[in-house]
Amino acid sequence: MRPRPRGLTKKQTLALGSERHSVIRENGGQIMVAIRSLGGSVVISTAPRVLLAVEPGSPFVIEGSALTSLCRDNLSYATALGHYFLHAVQTFPKPREQADGRLEVLYEGDDGDHDFIRSRYEAYWFAFGLLMPTGEFESAMADGGVDEAARRFHVDPGMVNLRALMAQ
């Protein structure tokens, strides 16, 4: 089964990601440790196909690539967590029953499915908030701009620029 969009705005979704940043902070800033603390696991592959798989009654699994940088991995894992929190667990902004059956988010292929495309946008917005929460992001930008924010949040400067655009 594919994720269904929540219908949240970009601002709402960024805020939800920012609220969940504590799970990363509490795990030493390490997103892979945070994933394990949430009961999930990361499987590394040279040809990842499934970004996230959630099977009812089982831990969630994120498939990572052995061929990408730490900065890229951070975004991929945060995006998977966005799908997990928004489209699998679905606790925000109001509870919704967990989906029956397996939820699977593939790296590629939207087949023109507008709901799936929208769910990806929601997961990306959540990821940017999760990795670079609003208050801390604004502080990093004030302290040293793009380079400081990229260093502080372990992301690529291009991701910092995108996050800055989202704040407008």
Read off the pLDDT of residues 146-160 as tens digits, 9 standing for 90 and up: 999 999 998 999 999
> In the predicted model, is pLDDT for residue 110 greater than 90?
no
Does the pTM surpass 0.85? The reply is yes
**pLDDT confidence of residue 56:** 73
Question: What average pLDDT does the structure give for the chain?
Answer: 86
Q: Do 118 and 83 form a contact (C-beta atoms < 8 A)?
A: no
Phi, psi of 63 (to 5 degrees): -100, 120
H-type helices in 3-51, by residue range? 10-19, 22-25, 31-37
Architecture of domain 10-132: Orthogonal Bundle (1.10)
Cβ neighbours of residue 53 under 8 Å, at least 6 residues apart?
60, 61, 63, 102, 103, 104, 105
Digit-coded pLDDT (tens) for 14-64: 999 999 999 998 998 899 999 999 999 999 988 877 788 887 777 889 998
pLDDT at 107 over 80: no
Mean per-residue pLDDT for 4-18?
Answer: 92
Long-range interactions of 24-27: CB distance < 8 A, separation 24+: 24/130, 24/131
Give the count of beta carbons closer than 10 Å to the beta carbon of residue 56: 11
Residue listed under structure tokens 């793009």: 146
Contact predicate 77/62, CB 8 Å: yes
